[in-house]
Structure 1
Amino acid sequence: MSEWRKVPITSEGAVANHIEARVSRRYWAAVEAGRPWDLEPGAMPVARCRLTESGVLVMEPVRIERDWDSITEHRWWTDSVDCCQVGWTHDGHLVAYDL
C-alpha cells in the first residue's frame, strides 16, 4: 500500500495538517523511545505522518476497521475520533487516521 496524502485546500486544512503532524511526531517519539509516560493522559494513537515543505501531510496507510465489535476495548478513545476513522498499521497498531 502506498502512503496517503492530505492536500490542504483551505487555511483551516493547512493548520489541521500541521497539528496532525505534530501530534503524530510526539506520539511516536514517546512510543518508540519506550516512554509512554511522556504522553499526555488520554493521548490517542495516531498514524505515523510527516509534513512536506508545501504543507501536504504524508501518512502511513492503514487498514480501515469496519468491525466495531472487534475493538470494544479501545472504545475509550475510538469513539472520540470523528466518524470513528481508525484502522490498523502494517505493524499491528490501532490508530486514528484523521484527527
Structure 2
Amino acid sequence: MRHAPLPFLSLGLLAFFTLTGCERYPEDPIFAYGRVLQPDGTPSVGQSLTLERQHDGGYVPLVTTTTDARGELTFELLSGDSVDQLDYGEQQARLRVGLPLD
C-alpha cells in the first residue's frame, strides 16, 4: 500500500487550514488607501475626506480622515460596515468618497 509523500501531505493540510479561515468577521478591519492631488500634481495637504455608505436611497457618513503632508490618506472601517446582512446572505454596500469643491 502506497502513502502520499510527507511534503504533499503537509501542503494539503496547510491548504486546508489556510482556506477554511478566509471568511471575514464583522469586527475585522478593512483599510482603504489613497492619495489626493491638486490639478497641477501637487499634494492636497490637510484635506478632510469622508467615506460615505449608501443607505435608504441616500448616503450616510462612515469615517472621516485627513490627508497628510504627501496628500496620502487611510480609511479604516469594520468589515460589518461594508455589507448588508440579508435573509439570503450578504450584499456589498456601495461606498463613496468625494472631494469638496473649491
TM-score (norm 2): 0.32
Larger Rg: 2
Task: Specify which structure has the higher proportion of helix.
Answer: 1
Task: Specify which structure has the higher proportion of strand.
Answer: 2
